[in-house]
């Protein structure tokens, strides 16, 4: 116990002293627009150059892998820095450089790409998702280097691309290249709670479905001549919603949302005027499915519902899978990564975190599917992708302390 208090006090003193420098780097990074290029942005290149330059100035050797995005003709950067420890395995912090677009500008109180520091917060696109954790990870690694501690294992960071659009040019390629060992410890600070009192060890499967209904467009005063794709599409959505909720109704108390969820979300525009019956209806479902269920079974069941409605309505209906990411195995509660992370949170914050599952997906799910137990944690306001997204400066600093404490408490 005295040693734990001493470690915590040393880290707190050092990192509090560096808090302005941490904040300054954070603000400078957020000014560099890094919207995912598959969402119409410039990509992660300039931000990656900035971060790599900072790491090198701090004395780190970096490894960089630029994935080749052939579709867009862009290089998608992924950067690694690591401290050597006494064993072959590594503790990795994984943070992503890309952000989603700002959305409707009129909903922002300030320029999304000109950070505003006010009332203990930093407001900008990407401040919480995933900028806060990225900067905390970097400065935790810097603190460990400055302490010159004898680390029980290697400790490193990967700053990755493409997380916001499926990680095809980020973690998926790094895993395919076998850049991680089966006994590595992986922490993904890309989800959390305002108190920092939950460590995530499980995620649901993700399924995005697109339904395209083709009927016959006619004047609204002559409906018998046409086939109303909008009505058929709405009826289909209601039936899919009802069927899935009834069949896949099991609960799992590990998860913060205990049920599988099947949510109708986006609908594409059809006709521009009121007095035309649409001949095309396109809508989407976002499904978050408990690990006990097989996503292939869900898709097969939905396809049966589609065929039934196609036959009864006379419309042509197609089902397209926009994204499908099965759930990986739950990280055991007794795993080294879950135990070490929980201990560090408890020692540095005084909280005893609960181990939970979530409906969102992080790259932690990709590691679990690859057989590497992974834990997800950070202290966040929980406003990702929202207008006026922000990070609380106190969380930025306190999470840096917790991250640095993990290998020192091992």
The residue annotated as part of the active site, out of 18, 44, 52, 98, is: 98
98 is catalytic: yes
Q: Where would I find the H helices in 109-228?
A: 132-147, 171-176
Contact indicator for 113, 21 with CB cutoff of 8 Å: no
Helix (H/G/I), strand (E/B), else coil: 392 = strand
C-alpha count within 13 angstroms, C-beta hemisphere, residue 73: 0
> Which tokens sit at 91?
């503790």
What DSSP string runs through 284-304?
Answer: EEEEEE-TTS-HHHHHHHHHH
Pick from 300, 298, 283, 304: which is nearest to 235 by CA?
283
Strand order in the sheet with 316-325: 261-267, 280-289, 205-214, 316-325
Contact indicator for 362, 83 with CB cutoff of 8 Å: no
Residue with tokens 């064993």: 87
CA distances from 321 to 2, 184, 212, 332 (A): 55, 33, 11, 31
The residue annotated as part of the active site, out of 163, 190, 200, 399, is: 163
Count of positions (residues) in the chain: 410
Structural Rg of the chain based on CA atoms? 24
Strand order in the sheet with 185-188: 62-69, 74-83, 154-160, 90-96, 185-188, 374-376, 198-203, 354-358
Residue with tokens 């509090």: 16
78's enclosing H/E stretch is strand 74-83
Q: For residues 4 and 297, give the distance between their C-alpha atoms in angstroms, rounded to a whole number.
A: 49
Q: For residues 364 and 266, give the distance between their C-alpha atoms in angstroms, rounded to a whole number.
A: 26
Residues noted as catalytic:
98, 163
């Amino acid at each position: 116990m005295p040693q734990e208090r001493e470690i915590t006090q040393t880290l707190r003193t050092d990192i509090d002293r560096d808090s302005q420098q941490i904040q300054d780097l954070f603000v400078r990074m957020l000014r560099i627009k890094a919207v995912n290029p598959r969402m119409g942005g410039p990509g992660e290149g300039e931000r990656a150059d900035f971060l790599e330059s900072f790491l090198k100035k701090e004395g780190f050797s970096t490894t960089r892998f630029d994935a080749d995005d052939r579709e867009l003709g862009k290089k998608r950067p992924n950067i690694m820095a690591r401290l050597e420890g006494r064993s072959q395995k590594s503790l990795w912090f994984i943070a992503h450089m890309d952000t989603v677009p700002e959305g409707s500008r009129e909903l922002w109180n300030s320029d999304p790409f000109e950070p505003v520091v006010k009332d203990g917060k930093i407001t900008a696109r990407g401040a919480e998702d995933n900028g806060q954790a990225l900067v905390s990870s970097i400065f935790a690694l810097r603190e460990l280097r400055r302490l010159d501690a004898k680390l029980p294992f290697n400790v490193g960071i990967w700053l990755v691309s493409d997380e916001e659009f499926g990680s095809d040019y980020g973690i998926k390629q790094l895993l395919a290249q076998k850049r991680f060992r089966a006994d590595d410890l992986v922490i993904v600070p890309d989800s959390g709670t305002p108190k920092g009192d939950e460590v995530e060890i499980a995620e649901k499967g993700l399924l995005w479905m697109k339904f395209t209904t083709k009927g016959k467009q006619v004047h609204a005063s002559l409906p018998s001549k046409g086939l109303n794709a909008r009505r058929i599409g709405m009826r289909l959505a209601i039936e899919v919603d009802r069927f899935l909720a009834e069949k896949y109704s099991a609960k799992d108390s590990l998860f913060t949302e205990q049920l599988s969820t099947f949510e109708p979300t986006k609908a594409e525009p059809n006709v521009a005027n009121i007095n035309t019956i649409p001949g095309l209806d396109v809508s989407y479902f976002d499904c978050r499915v408990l690990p006990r269920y097989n996503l292939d079974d869900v898709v097969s069941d939905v396809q049966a519902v589609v065929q039934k409605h196609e036959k009864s309505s006379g419309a042509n209906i197609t089902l397209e899978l926009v994204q499908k990411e099965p759930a990986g195995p739950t990280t055991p509660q007794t795993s080294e990564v879950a135990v070490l992370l929980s201990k560090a949170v408890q020692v540095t914050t005084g909280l005893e975190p609960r181990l939970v599952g979530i409906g969102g997906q992080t790259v932690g799910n990709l590691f679990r599917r690859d057989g590497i137990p992974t834990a997800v944690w950070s202290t966040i306001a929980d406003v990702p992708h929202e207008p006026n997204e922000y990070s609380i400066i106190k969380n930025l600093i306190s999470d840096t302390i917790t991250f640095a404490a993990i290998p020192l408490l091992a």
